[in-house]
Structure 1
Amino acid sequence: MKMNRVVVLLLLLWFLCFSSVFWMTSASVVLIGNNVTLSFDDIEANFATAIKGSGECGVLYLANPLDACSDLSIKVDELSNGSSPFALVIRGGCSFEEKVRRVQKAGFEAAIVYDNDDDGVLVAMAGNAAGIKIHAVFVSKASGEILKKFAGSTDMELWLIPSFENSAWSIMAISFISLLAMSAVLATCFFVRRHRIRRELPQSSRVREFHGMSRRLVKAMPSLIFTAVLEDNCTSITCAICLEDYTVGEKLRILPCRHSKLLTTQRMT
């Protein structure tokens, strides 16, 4: 019972660790500052620069125009803050690629595009990756409306954390190592329990080792003098044990066989 509790506890700890890693990698946009921490799900654009490592940190600004379907009036070099500038853009009016290219042209290092529809479904922004050097992510309309309230606040940090898709190999590696560790623990528990059960068995139920027949039993077996091959007592010309031929006059001992009509002979020593 104690062993089962240990196994269950280890499985629970493994599940909690894996769940925490998954949660950290699935929250891709995180807003931090002024005792406020908010996280938002997103999907990275398949044509923009992938977010790697521990993520990218910057300050969020509203694009002007908000849909970024024409050149942005706000320029990065006009911003007094030295942090990496991110632009918040609304969906619609033009393609995702056009929006991201205009955000990049204005000097921003990332484009956060939020949906103009309230369905809450995140889409993967598609486009031509040629010349795109900044990050781009897509968030829901509800997330965008919240982010708009904090846009321009230089005391608020916006983090873009690698999404689950980009961290899949890390998750797989962690899962594989955890699985190996759990397998080793379970195997150890199994063999320890098996050994303990065998030790607790009564002596009479254990398998006894065979050390051969005693000299007294061997001498009690019938014997004969070899003269020739005899069919009636199944005496052959060769010993079945040492595989040597008998010679006339040698004394042989008759051994019991599995079959009732067959006897085996052994050379006497």
Structure 2
Amino acid sequence: MWCLLPTPLCLISVFLLLQAPVAEVFLYVVYKQNSTCMDFRALSACFGPPVPREGLRGYLTEAAPANACQPIGSPPASSNSSEVFIALIRRSGCPFGVKVLHAQQAGYKAAIVHNVNAEQLVSMVADDKEIRQQIAIQSVFMGKSASKHLKRASRYEKGQFWSHLLKYSAYIVIPYVIQEFGFMINVVVCTITLVVCARWYKKGQKITVCTFKRGDKYDTCVICMAEYEDGDQLKILPCSHAWNTHTQILV
């Protein structure tokens, strides 16, 4: 689909990659310019509706003012009422909820907030309950480098862009699956190790010690084959064999 808007805009796609209960939700923001597709990892906000599983596609425009701490300008006028506009907003200056609410009030259907001096992804929260209840658009957070690419694309002179939603493939999901399974494997290995050590310790506690006397049924060490003498300290194994406590066992 070719961009028919008179202003240089970038058609981007936001689609859900993985969503797990009580876990962070990672998304990929994708734009396609001259058949070159780039994807960036982002993090869904803790307020407002989640990005739909089928994805969200729309035209990207930079907010003015850039941090959206005051009411921002409306999206470019369009003859097609079904077109979606996404605001690109800079972090800092005011709470995340205020930024997204200003984008919503200006007519944007979604908002992308980006970091300023770091690539770290932050979980956006809205502490103000009144503001949180008003927010009805999706929003995500991304790093500094990703925002630079999107800004460069949105300022492209010709404005001839087309895009389509990309289905996430196995090579994108595999790293996250491996990471989760790696953690589970570590937990299982640690648990097995603890159980084995606990059982070994309990068995060690069951070994009894007695003093040898002439006439006892134990007369020869099962390890060094030496005969016991009166007063020797013997360890009785669970298998009913005994050995001299002075005998050194090499493993």
**What TM-score comes out, normalization by structure 2 length?**
0.50
Larger C-alpha radius of gyration, 1 or 2? 1
Q: Which has the higher strand share?
A: 2
Structure whose residues are more often helix by fraction: 1
Q: TM-score normalized by structure 1?
A: 0.47
